[in-house]
Amino acid sequence: SAVISQKPSRDICQRGTSLTIQCQVDSQVTMMFWYRQQPGQSLTLIATANQGSEATYESGFVIDKFPISRPNLTFSTLTVSNMSPEDSSIYLCSVEGRGRGTEAFFGQGTRLTVV
């Protein structure tokens, strides 16, 4: 299994500001994934982060709004930029288990409220 730590666990931010969310894994992983879960909704994949290359974004998500860093094999950050109330969501980091096709592990998430 993989243990994932996300920081902060929650935050309340002013509109127009940016928040950087950190994701730390206790083992080296090739891919890390960032998801968004809007209130009362299911999870939606934002992007896939590979070490040493630019993140791959899903349709509807752009780098200017959600810049991602992946400086090494155990760490990634997601920044939510120029926030508006519509960005209020839970943001979750995920990694694949050991071996391709096995289960994914998720962090506890960051609950973001934009006021």
Partner 1 sequence: DAKTTQPPSMDCAEGRAANLPCNHSTISGNEYVYWYRQIHSQGPQYIIHGLKNNETNEMASLIITEDRKSSTLILPHATLRDTAVYYCIVRVFGNEKLTFGTGTRLTIIP
96 binds partner 1 (CB under 8 A): yes
Considering the complex, what minimum distance in angstroms separates the CB of residue 31 from partner 1? 5
HEC secondary structure over 4-20: EEEECCEEEECCCCCEE
- Separation between Cα atoms, residue 94 and residue 33, nearest integer Å: 5
Which tokens hold the place of 86? Answer: 């519509």
At its nearest, how many Å lie between partner 1 and the CB of residue 3?
Answer: 12
Residues in contact with partner 1, counted by CB under 8 A, come to a total of 21
C-beta of residue 74 within 8 angstroms of C-beta of residue 95: no
**Binders of partner 1 among 19-48, rule CB under 8 A?**
31, 33, 42-45, 48
The answer to whether 109 contacts partner 1 (rule: CB under 8 A) is yes
The secondary structure of the chain in percent helix, strand, coil, rounded to multiples of 5, reads: 5, 50, 45
- Residue 12 CB, nearest distance to partner 1 (Å)? 16
Neighbours of 82 (CB within 10 A): 11
Q: How far is the CB of 91 from partner 1 (least distance, A)?
A: 11
Contact residues: partner 1, CB under 8 A? 4, 31, 33, 42-45, 48, 92, 94, 96-97, 100-101, 103-109
